[in-house]
Structure 1
Amino acid sequence: MHWFNPLSYLVRREIDRACELSCDEAVIKELDNNGRQGYGDTLIAVAADTKSPKTIVSTTMCEEKKALKERLSAIMKHKGFPIRAIAFSWVLVSAVLCGIVVLGTETVGFP
Structure 2
Amino acid sequence: MPFRVIELTQGNLNNNHLYLSGVIDLFPSESIGGPNESEHGAQLEIHCGIAEPVFTDIAGDKKIFRKRSWVGEFFQSHALSAGSRVIIERTGANRYHIYPVRT
Report the TM-score, using the length of structure 2 for normalisation: 0.26
Larger Rg: 1
Report the TM-score, using the length of structure 1 for normalisation: 0.25
Q: Identify the structure with bigger relative contact order (alpha carbons < 8 Å, sequence gap 6+).
A: 2
Of Structure 1 and Structure 2, which has the larger fraction of its residues in strand? 2
